[in-house]
Amino acid sequence: MQRQSYSTYLVDEVKFPFCKGCGHTHAVRYLDKALTILQRDPCFINLVSDIGCIELVDSLFPDIHTVHTTHGRSTAFATGIELADSILHDSDLKTVVILGDGGATIGLLHIVNAALMNVDISVLVCNNFLYGMTGGQHSALTPMNMVTTTTPVGNIIPPMDICKVVESCEAGFVARALATDRNLPDILAKAIDYSGFSLVEILEICPEYGDKSGEVDDRRIKEFVKEKDFPLGILVNRSDRLEFGEAYGKMMEKIGAEKTTKKDDGFLESEFSSTLDKQIEVVIAGTAGERVQRAAYLLLQTAIKSGLHATQKNDNPATGGSGFSLSEVVLSPNEIYFTEIECPDCIIISSQDGFKEIRANGTLGRVGPDSLIIADESIRLTEAEAGCRVIYLPLRTEFGPESAALGGIMTWLKITEILSSGAVAEVIEGKIANK
C-alpha cells in the first residue's frame, strides 16, 4: 500500500490565534515543517500542551493527538504518557511537549526529572521572556534589565539558562534557536527524532508586552537577548545514554522479571481460570508493617493470572510503619471503570488497628446483608456493625501477625472458590514459602 505523504499537519486555511507579530506563529509554522520532514503518521504523534498563549496550538493540528494539561505540568503528563506507551504498549508514539517560559518556570522540576530519566520526549520551550497570557509578568527566563509589567524599571534578577539546566541533568539533545531561524525545522526534527530526552529553547518576542516596536525578525530577537549572549544551534547531541524505556527493560531482564504474554487486545494471557461472574469489592484492614498491602497485592496477582481485571488502592498513615494499613481491591471478569468501594462483598480484618480505621472511615457502615466479614478472634463487632455474616478466626495466632491478612484472604478464597487452587498455590502459597 502506498504510504501517504504529508505536506502539512496544520488545519486547512490555518488562522493563527496569536497577536500580530507574535513569535509563537513562527514557532508553530516551523514545528509543522519539522513534522513534515519526519513524515510520521499523525496517529503516532502526541502534542502535550501547557497553559499560556502557545497552548492555543492544540486546535491547529487536527489529526495528531493533543493533550491539554495544567500550568507547568505538561512535561510530567508527557512523561507518564511516554512511559505507558513504551513500557506497557511497546508502541512508537512520539511525544512532544510545547510550553512557554512561564510553564517551564512553574514546572521546572518536571523538566529536570524527565531529562535525568532520559525519557523519550521532546520539550519545546517557546521563550518570549515573560508570561504573555496573564499580562506580561516576568518569568525565571526574563533577561536582566528587561522591562515587564512586574519589572517596570528593568529586571534585576539574572535569567535561568534552561539549556544549561538540562545539560547538567545529562540531557542527550539540547538546542537553542531563534523562532525566525530557517534552520529551526531541521533542529526540531532532529530533537523529535532523538531517542531520549531532548529540549529546544525557541527564542521569541511577545509584541504585546515584550517589545511593541514592530514585526519580529532575527535582528530584533538577537538585539533583545544580546545582554545574555545566548549560544545558538545544537548545543548537545550525544548517544551514550540509554533511553529510559530501554534502560528499564534491561533492568527488568537483569532482575529476572517474568516476561508477560499479551493477547491481541493488549491484555495479559491468563494461566488459570476463575468462576467469578460479576464485579466484587474486598477490603483488607490490618496494621502497618504487617504486610497487609502485600497480601492484597498477592490476591491481585492471583486474580490477574486467572484472567480477571483487578485494581488495588492502599491507605496508611504518613508514617507507613505504625497505625493502620488498608487495601481496597476490586476484582471483575470485565474491565473496571469504578474503583471505589460502595458495598464491600468481603472485609478481612486482621488487627485492632485495621478495625478502628474501617470503623472510623465508614467502611463497616457500607456492608450489605450478603457481605462477609472475616475477623481475627481478638475483634468484636457490635450487633449494629455486624449486619452480615461474620466469621471470627485466630488469624494472628495461626498465621502470625505478618501473615494474618494473607491468612484471611486464603480463607475467603477457600469459601468462595472464585480462584483455582492451582493459582492460589502458585502465587500465594509460593510467596509464603519464599518469604
Determine the interface stretch with Mg ion among 96-104, 106-114, 184-192, 269-277 (rule: CB under 5 A).
96-104
Query: Which phi and psi (to 5°) does residue 416 adopt?
Result: -85, -30
According to the binding rule CB under 5 A, does residue 151 interact with Mg ion? no
**Residue 209 binding target from Mg ion, ligand SF4, none, CB below 5 to 8 Å by type:** ligand SF4
Closest to ligand SF4 by CB, 31 or 367: 31
- Minimum distance from CB of 24 to ligand SF4 (Å)? 5
**Residue 159 binding target from Mg ion, ligand SF4, none, CB below 5 to 8 Å by type:** none
Closest to ligand SF4 by CB, 210 or 245: 210
Closest to Mg ion by CB, 23 or 172: 23
Whether the CB-CB separation of 288 and 405 falls below 8 Å is answered with no
Rounded (10°) CA dihedral 426, 431, 432, 435: 160
SS3 annotation, 120-172:
CEEEEEEECCEECCCCCEECCCCCCCCCECCECCCCCCCCCCHHHHHHCCCCC
- Minimum distance from CB of 49 to Mg ion (Å)? 13
Q: Which residue number has the CB closest to ligand SF4? A: 132
Q: Residues 61, 67, 118, 252: is their CA dihedral positive or negative?
A: negative
- Minimum distance from CB of 103 to Mg ion (Å)? 8
**Residue 101 binding target from Mg ion, ligand SF4, none, CB below 5 to 8 Å by type:** Mg ion
Cα–Cα distance between 208 and 433 in angstroms, integer? 69
Cα–Cα distance between 216 and 358 in angstroms, integer? 63
Closest to ligand SF4 by CB, 132 or 196: 132
- Minimum distance from CB of 132 to Mg ion (Å)? 5
Whether the CB-CB separation of 14 and 67 falls below 8 Å is answered with no
Task: Give residues in contact with ligand SF4 (CB under 6 A).
Answer: 18-19, 22, 24, 53, 128, 132-133, 206-209
According to the binding rule CB under 5 A, does residue 46 interact with Mg ion? no
According to the binding rule CB under 5 A, does residue 210 interact with Mg ion? no
Closest to ligand SF4 by CB, 70 or 149: 149
Cα–Cα distance between 10 and 28 in angstroms, integer? 9
- For residue 229 the three cell numbers come to 549572549
Whether the CB-CB separation of 134 and 102 falls below 8 Å is answered with yes
Residue 342 corresponds to which amino acid? E
Whether the CB-CB separation of 329 and 299 falls below 8 Å is answered with yes
Which residue among 50, 82, 101, 208 contacts Mg ion (CB under 5 A)?
101
**Residue 22 binding target from ligand SF4, Mg ion, none, CB below 5 to 8 Å by type:** ligand SF4
- Tell which positions 120-149 bind Mg ion, by CB under 5 A: 128, 132
- Minimum distance from CB of 60 to ligand SF4 (Å)? 13
Q: Strands 324-332, 309-315: parallel, antiparallel or unpaired by DSSP?
A: antiparallel
Cα–Cα distance between 421 and 161 in angstroms, integer? 60
- Minimum distance from CB of 14 to ligand SF4 (Å)? 15
- Minimum distance from CB of 94 to ligand SF4 (Å)? 26
Whether the CB-CB separation of 306 and 420 falls below 8 Å is answered with yes
Cα–Cα distance between 177 and 183 in angstroms, integer? 8
Closest to ligand SF4 by CB, 16 or 248: 16
Closest to Mg ion by CB, 141 or 405: 141
Determine the interface stretch with Mg ion among 29-37, 98-106, 366-374, 416-424 (rule: CB under 5 A).
98-106
Which residue among 100, 107, 159, 286 contacts Mg ion (CB under 5 A)?
100
Cα–Cα distance between 166 and 183 in angstroms, integer? 22
- Minimum distance from CB of 67 to Mg ion (Å)? 20
Cα–Cα distance between 78 and 199 in angstroms, integer? 13
- Minimum distance from CB of 158 to ligand SF4 (Å)? 22
Closest to ligand SF4 by CB, 11 or 88: 11
Rounded alpha-carbon distances, angstroms, from residue 18 to 12, 25, 417: 17, 7, 63
Q: Could you list the residues that contact Mg ion (CB under 5 A)?
A: 100-102, 128, 132
